Amino acid sequence: MCDKLVVVFGATGAQGGSVAKALLEDGTFKVRIVSRDLSKPACKDLEKLGAEVVKADLDDVELLRAALHGAHAVFLVTNYWEYHDKDKEGKRFADVAKQAGLQHVVFSGLENVYKLTNGKLEVEHFDGKGEIEEYFRQIGVPLTSVRLPFYFENFKSVFKPKKLPDGSGYALGLPMGNVPMHGMAVVDLGPVVVNVLKSPEKYIGKDIGLTAGSWTCDEYAKIISKYTGKNVVDGKMSADAYEKLGFPGAVDLANMFRAYTMNILVRDTKLTSQLNANVRNFEEWVQHNKHVFDDL
């Protein structure tokens, strides 16, 4: 282990948890995890694995400064869905990171779709992260952006197949038509970030579009059917129908799918595999997670 300290934000969540565990298993860096609630079981588990655990919040500048004291690098993930705020907490963090003299920030970013489409399409949870990426670079913080695709884990929750009205099976509601959609297991992010942190000279300044592959909605459905024995089909949903579902964020997600179909978001299967040789494709992921579909 070297003396360089990596601070992981969001370590009790899916992305940060994957990164923290991978760093601790690798052993190259000292690891400090940051949480707003130190009583969470995930904090205790990571502490047992050797992480230093500190309390901080992206809304509290003084706690942020303390959390970054002595740090060489950081993994940062922001949560648009918690506050529906595009960029405030990320820019605040960037300012503190600049003052702290961090040598490398690995940020869970995304493209600024509004800018890419010349204002024709707005995807707030993408655009905000894109603006944060731009701000880090504008103020001179050494940054690598890792841009995830659709999480396979989403099929466990908001994109779980829904029962068909006639009871004949289940429908996947991905408004993609016949366009393949990139995907990846979020738990496979950790080794990617470890390897990026180990080779800063190679990756600082880069935007890395991650993916384990791309599949159409029909192909996703058939793979789930193959390993669960349940009849899962493409729900043939349109983006227009999706945005009318009416839940908070429906319009933003519909616009995300519209962006996915426009072929403007760069994702690189080869580079992803280089950064994580054990990244799972969707078939492998379902094979090992078929139990999550038991209660459809």
> What is the rounded average pLDDT for all residues in the chain?
95
Domain that holds residue 178: 5-293
Q: How many domains does the chain have?
A: 1
CA angle 186, 189, 192 (to 5 degrees): 165
Closest to 285 (Cα-Cα) out of 187, 175, 143, 179: 187
Backbone dihedral region of 63: left (phi > 0), alpha (psi from -120 to 50 degrees) or beta?
alpha
pLDDT at 2: 78
Q: Which residues contact 64 (CB under 8 A, 6 or more apart)?
A: 56, 57, 58, 92, 93, 96
Best CA proximity match to 7, nearest among 72, 63, 62, 56: 72
pTM of the model: 0.95
Please list the pLDDT of the chain residue by residue as tens digits (296 residues).
Answer: 678 999 999 999 999 999 999 999 999 999 999 998 999 999 999 999 999 999 998 889 999 999 999 999 999 998 765 555 556 788 999 999 999 999 999 999 999 999 999 999 999 999 999 999 999 999 999 999 999 999 999 999 999 999 999 999 999 999 999 999 999 999 999 999 999 999 999 999 999 999 999 999 999 999 999 999 999 999 999 999 999 998 888 999 999 999 999 989 999 999 999 999 999 999 999 999 999 999 88
State the CATH number of the domain containing residue 138: 3.40.50.720
